[in-house]
């Protein structure tokens, strides 16, 4: 689903959905394969049907967004995290399902479990939040 996320960032969600609905999944299937094209079509259909409503999801909790998106066939946690990060602009999402993120954590901190990675990320966020408050108070 990396291709979907990259397409969403480059062309925008609405443009992508309208193109898929107008031209069908055949042109897309030539690029990403039949099954992924079907999944992308599912997402486009969910958007057209109002299941994916960016204005509503923008106000929803992370858990509600993930639940809404992962109910669509072909959308998993990784894609939901990328939607939260890049479409909704949530900067407090830690995409533990992303292999690049996990490799980066191992490179920086050494071998650790996913749970340890989440805890390390949470500690860093809390430290950054405290530093930001101190910085703003000192302005």
Phi-psi bin for 111: left (phi > 0), alpha (psi -120 to 50), beta?
A: beta
Helix pair angle (2-11, 34-48), 10° resolution: 50
What the block records as the tokens of 75 is 């959308």
First to last CA, the chain: 43
- Is 81 catalytic? The answer is no
- Which residue among 91, 92, 98, 129 is the active-site one? 98
Q: Which residues belong to the active site? A: 98
């Amino acid at each position: 689903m990396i291709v979907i996320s990259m397409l969403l960032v480059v062309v925008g969600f609405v443009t992508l959905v309208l193109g898929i609905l107008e031209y069908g999944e055949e042109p897309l299937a030539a690029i990403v394969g039949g099954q992924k094209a079907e999944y992308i079509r599912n997402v486009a259909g969910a958007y057209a049907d109002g299941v994916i409503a960016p204005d509503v999801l923008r106000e929803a909790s992370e858990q509600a967004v993930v639940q809404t998106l992962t109910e669509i066939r072909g959308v998993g946690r990784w894609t939901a995290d990328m939607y939260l990060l890049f479409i909704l602009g949530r900067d407090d999402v830690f995409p533990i399902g992303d292999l690049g993120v996990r490799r980066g954590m191992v490179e920086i901190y050494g071998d650790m479990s996913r749970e340890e990675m989440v805890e390390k990320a949470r500690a860093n966020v809390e430290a950054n939040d405290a530093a930001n408050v101190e910085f703003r108070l000192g302005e």
